[in-house]
Amino acid sequence: LLSVILRKCRLACTAADAVSSGSNPLYVIHQTFVEEMMPDVMKKAWSASSEISEDDAMTMISISPKLPLVYSKQRGKLCANESQFRQLIFEPVTKLFAFAIPSAAA
């Protein structure tokens, strides 16, 4: 399983090789699972609901059926509701890597 995850993240196939390559494998894995695999609609913002494409709307509904669209005070725009993504993906993945203890090879 580890070698599959490392390959998916374009790292060396073993943990020791990934660490010795000079990269931070835990950071790379976290970025891949959280940032790169995040649906594109989660990275968008709109000034008005009329600007949202049908594909984006359907994606938001599949991510958060009850409340797909929210107003972001930080951005000052409408954006996809991130609560489900944070609860199901971001927080578990982040906590998993936050408590990772490197082996002797690391």
| 80 phi-psi bin (left φ>0, alpha ψ -120 to 50, beta other) | beta
| Least-confidence region, from 13-17, 44-48, 66-70 | 13-17
| 98 phi-psi bin (left φ>0, alpha ψ -120 to 50, beta other) | alpha
pLDDT recorded at residue 66: 93
Average pLDDT, the chain: 86
Q: Is the pTM of this model over 0.85?
A: no
Choose from 14-23, 35-44, 63-72, 89-98 the range with maximum mean pLDDT: 63-72
Is pLDDT at 54 greater than 80 in this prediction?
yes
Q: How many CB atoms lie within 10 A of CB 29?
A: 21
- Count Cβ atoms within 10 A of the Cβ of residue 105 and give its class: 0-12 exposed, 13-18 middle, 19 or more buried: exposed
What radius of gyration do the chain's Cα atoms show? 17
pLDDT recorded at residue 59: 95
